[in-house]
Amino acid sequence: MLPEKRVGVPVLFLVFNRPELTRRVWRVLRMIRPERLYVAADGPRAGNAADFRNCAGTRRIVQQLDWPCDVKYRFLEKNYGCRRAVSSAIDWFFSEVEEGIILEDDCLPCREFFSFCAEALKNYRHDARVMHVNGTVHFSPETSDFDAWFSRYAFVWGWASWRRAWKMYDPVLLNYPFDRLSGCFPDAAVKERWDELLRNTQAGKPGFDDTWAFQWSAALFANGGLAVSPRRSLIRNIGLDSGTHEMPDCPEVSFDGISVFSGGRIRFPPVAEADAAADALTFDRIYRKKALPVRIADKLRKVL
């Protein structure tokens, strides 16, 4: 099911210093022609001549509108880094709209991504337990009669949410209720791993000091939140080789243009409940801590 020529759901487009990637996603937005568009850009890093050039080039691209659109820009003059720039941009977005879609410059969506987000936002608008709409999935249920399913995990390679959910976000995890992780994760090893990841984020340890997405996962965990997910990924990440926070251990997401929906409509399951088997696979592949010899081998491969 393809969206109409215009997308009525507000879209936030997050950009920085990658004009070529930005141009590819911008082409899709020009095709979709959102009625309400918000564009946020972090500023160039001090003393980085390439940043000043590339940030300027990126901003020129996103100001080339050739369709009727209510657009607002938030261009930062100095660099605030990923955590502050992204989370404050989403704050700005949800101060303006009740619900919407968020895309970064390396998240290339297929057309059905917008349909899925629009239908999910409408369908779960008043369901407080559903806090996030995934555009990317790494695993999904093996068998299902539906086009969507529920996960504990919120992926931010193309996603959507509501103001009511985002207001639970805390960028520094101040006074975070770690005891609530047990309610989300009955498996002790999973709970302990997430306790470690979130405490590292809270402490701002190296590798966690400029992230914003772990805090969003933390908000879902603390509030028993769920992410409604498509059966197949609707986003291709095109920036893994150049991103600040690469995820080299993640598998490639599928993106072949084949419809993920049946009969021209999206069939949502009647009960909002996390699929334990799919989430277990997701944890094992994405979040489980590797043994030390494996981590050393991974680092050597990157160096070589």
Looking at residue 299, what is its pLDDT?
Answer: 46
Report CA-CA distances (Å) from 134 to 116, 140, 144, 220, 234. 9, 12, 17, 13, 9
Interaxial angle between packed helices 188-203 and 213-222, expressed in degrees from 0 to 180 and rounded to the nearest 10: 130
pLDDT band at 298; cut points 50, 70, 90: very low
Question: CA 229, CA 155: separation in Å to the nearest integer?
Answer: 9
Sign of CA dihedral 200, 203, 209, 215: positive
Sorted by where each starts, the structural domains of the chain and their CATH numbers stand as: 11-292 (3.90.550.10)
**pLDDT digit string, tens, across residues 224-266:** 999 999 998 999 999 875 444 443 333 444 445 456 676 668 9
> Computed over its alpha carbons, how large is the radius of gyration of the chain?
19
Looking at residue 247, what is its pLDDT?
Answer: 39
**pLDDT digit string, tens, across residues 36-89:** 999 999 999 999 999 999 999 999 999 999 999 999 999 999 999 999 999 999
Q: What angle do CA 85, 227, 246 make, to 5 degrees?
A: 45
